[in-house]
Structure 1
Amino acid sequence: MNGQAKNSITRRGALSHVAAPGAILAAPALASAAPVAIQTRKRKTYVLVHGTWHGGWVWRQVAERLQADGHRVLTPTATGCGERAHLISPTTNLSTHVQDICAVIEAEDAEEVILIGHSFGGLTITGVADRLGERIAHIVFYDAFIPTRARPAWVMPEADGSWPKWWLDRQAHFIDGYKMIFFDHYPIKMLVPEEDAANVALLKRKLTWHPAGQWTEPVSFAQGGWEDRPRTYIHTTLQTFAPSSPAMWGPGKEAGWRWIDVPTTRNGMLTHPDVVAACFASLG
């Protein structure tokens, strides 16, 4: 969509309810011979891609709401994360995660996909769009990093090819040199408010390590990545600690993007599932 149309989604825009699949509306009295009316609406297909340290589990509440509204929702977990944390290896990288998501889309025969990525899942969905562009109807970055040809990875090498010092300093703390741990580098308020006891406990229980190669491997733009796709950036407005900067969302302010301000924290799928589901439901 051209321009930078700006929208604000609130709880008042929460999902409407539809009749169960196949439900028949009551016919008027004395009209038994008339054709019955069946309520229908366009069924959308969503593929929701988690960010660093998370897994498909993080989308459960949003997926349930979209499914209740009649949509199809896939929430794959990338290799080395979530319930697949045991599969991590030194070679697990961005290409692995792109293949994970592409494999799910292809195995599920998903078409006209609304592909949504959170945080550094923006790298992954860009790679998926580059490979399966014909299946992607809309690509959406939910408080996510938008890679570009100039910056195709979050961690970029210096001019001499070496890694920047900040990255080498951080890498010294990685388990086995490649397994990143959230709590080694960030406070929980990076994701949810500290006073949100239930979600803090959930994240402390659920967050896993994450392969460093997903941050350092450049994403492919061989087929244009997100460039030729209808695209939206969803910006969270309730994040008070280290809110996303232009380094994350910069291209989302350019022509060709739809921009949506949504009143949630960074992990709004946990803190504001109604709002996030309503926002996703509004996407074409």
Structure 2
Amino acid sequence: MKTLPRLLSFVAAVLLAGSIAVHADDHAASRSAAAPQKLTFVLVHGATAGGYEWKKTGRHLEEAGHTVYRVTLTALGERSHLSAENVNLTTHINDVVNTILFEDLHDVVLTGHSYGGMVITGVMDRIPERIRHVFYFDAVVPDDGKSMFDMFGNAEQPDRVVKNGRWIPPWLNENPTTYPHNVGHPIGTLTEPVSYKDPAALALNVTYVPFVQDPATADENSGMLPGWKRAKARGWTIRPYRGSHVAMLETPAGLAELILAAVDDRNTTVD
């Protein structure tokens, strides 16, 4: 008769252990489901600038546990010592594409500011399979086969200043004394048309973020760059953000918050 109590004790111990294991698995699954996603960002700057303009926003993203690559395009920023004579849009697209390929990045959140919209459009067309989501920050939204100058109707400007292959905009200080600072922009990048026709690129989810004075009253006629209407026509998500054309330098934490809140935006169907 002593065997029965021992058997019952054994069965009870097995059931208890199973219950503990089940609860442990449930707890682990719950923690896994609640864990925030870790993302990989590739941030692209605008004309005459460098990767430094994304430094503060990038730091906030890194502090949230994400991985950030701030690409500086050829002949700009800390790479301004390189010649601009033979640099074109393809060069800058290659700067970003090769960062993604050689770092073996996948599910990339790709962002572009201002002229950077030209660059990321070309990147989308080249390697759409590596990209998870795209952000255009007050950026050019080009059509296929158009250049930067084509998009703004200023392909021919007799008073344009070009030195050593660099466009020198009127507002640029050619003799800065502090760092970081803007530099002349490779003129070839502004005259070469971009390709944007790969069906996989056209299907990528995109968020267009115009920088405006008042997001509550902003509409498609707001913002410095006329990309809003094209973004709307493509079914992209539009999220106006308060700030000047360099809002990432003014409120980097707020912009990082917007990025993380919008990274799962989905395009809408356009009739």
Query: TM-score of the superposition, structure 1-length normalised?
Result: 0.72
- For 1:72 and 1:114, the matched residues in 2 are separated by 10
The 10-residue stretch of structure 1 (59-68 or 36-45) with the greater mean CA deviation from structure 2: 36-45
TM-superposition CA deviations, 1:169-213 (whole Å, max 9, x none): 21xx2112x2123xx42379xxxxxxxxxxx997x7411221011
User: How far 1:272 moved relative to its partner?
Assistant: 0.8
Query: Shift of the alpha carbon at 1:223?
Result: 1.9
Runs of 4+ off more than 3 Å: 34-39
Does the 8 A contact of 2:77 with 2:180 survive in 1?
no
Residue 81 of structure 1: aligned partner: 76
SS at match of 1:75: strand
Match of 1:175 in 2: 163
SS of 2:140's equivalent? Answer: coil
Matching residue of 2:9: none
What residue number does 1:229 align with? 204
Residue in structure 1 matched with residue 50 of structure 2 by the alignment: 55
Equivalent residue number for residue 277 of structure 1 = 256
Aligned counterparts of 2:68 and 2:92: Cα–Cα separation in 1:
18
Identity of aligned residues (%): 32
Give the whole-Å Cα distance in 2 for the aligned partners of 1:164 and 1:53.
18
Q: Secondary structure at the match of 2:80?
A: helix
TM-score, normalized by length of structure 2? 0.75
Q: Secondary structure at the match of 1:95?
A: helix
Residues 94 and 70 of structure 1: CA distance in aligned 2, closer, same or farther (over 3 Å): same
C-alpha separation between the residues in 1 aligned to 2:190 and 2:210?
21
User: Unaligned regions of 5+ residues in structure 2, if any?
Assistant: 1-19, 215-221, 265-271
The residue number in structure 1 matching 2:149 is 155
* 1:265 CA displacement: 1.6
Q: Given the alignment of the two structures, is residue 165 of structure 1 paired with residue 156 of structure 2, yes or no?
A: yes
Distance 1:255 1:122, change over 3 A: closer
After TM superposition, list the pairs within 5 Å mapping 1:59-208 onto structure 2: 59-149=54-144, 152-156=146-150, 164-166=155-157, 168-170=158-160, 173-176=161-164, 178-181=165-168, 184-186=169-171, 205-208=180-183
Stretches of structure 1 lacking an aligned partner (at least 5 in a row): 1-30, 158-162, 189-199
CA distance in 2, matches of 1:73, 1:221: 25
| Number of residue pairs matched by the alignment | 225
Structure number with larger C-alpha Rg: 2
- Post-superposition offset of 1:71: 0.8
Q: Are residues 52 and 270 of structure 1, via their aligned partners in 2, closer, same or farther at CA, if it must alter by over 3 Å? A: same
Offset of residue 165 of structure 1: 3.3
Structure with bigger RCO (C-alpha 8 Å, 6+ apart): 1
2:244 equivalent in structure 1:
265
Cα deviation, residue 154, structure 1: 1.6
C-alpha distance in structure 1 between counterparts of 2:199 and 2:113, whole Å: 20
- 1:258 is displaced (CA, Å) by 0.2
**Whose helix fraction is larger, Structure 1's or Structure 2's?**
2
**3-state DSSP of counterpart to 1:87:** coil
SS in 2 for 1:141: strand
- How many angstroms apart in 1 are the aligned matches of 2:163 and 2:40? 37
Distance (whole Å) between structure 1 residues aligned to residue 191 and residue 209 of structure 2: 24
Conserved in 2, the CA contact under 8 Å of 1:79 and 1:87?
A: yes
Query: Letter of the aligned partner of 1:152 in structure 2?
Result: K
Matching residue within 192, 195, 218 for 1:220: 195
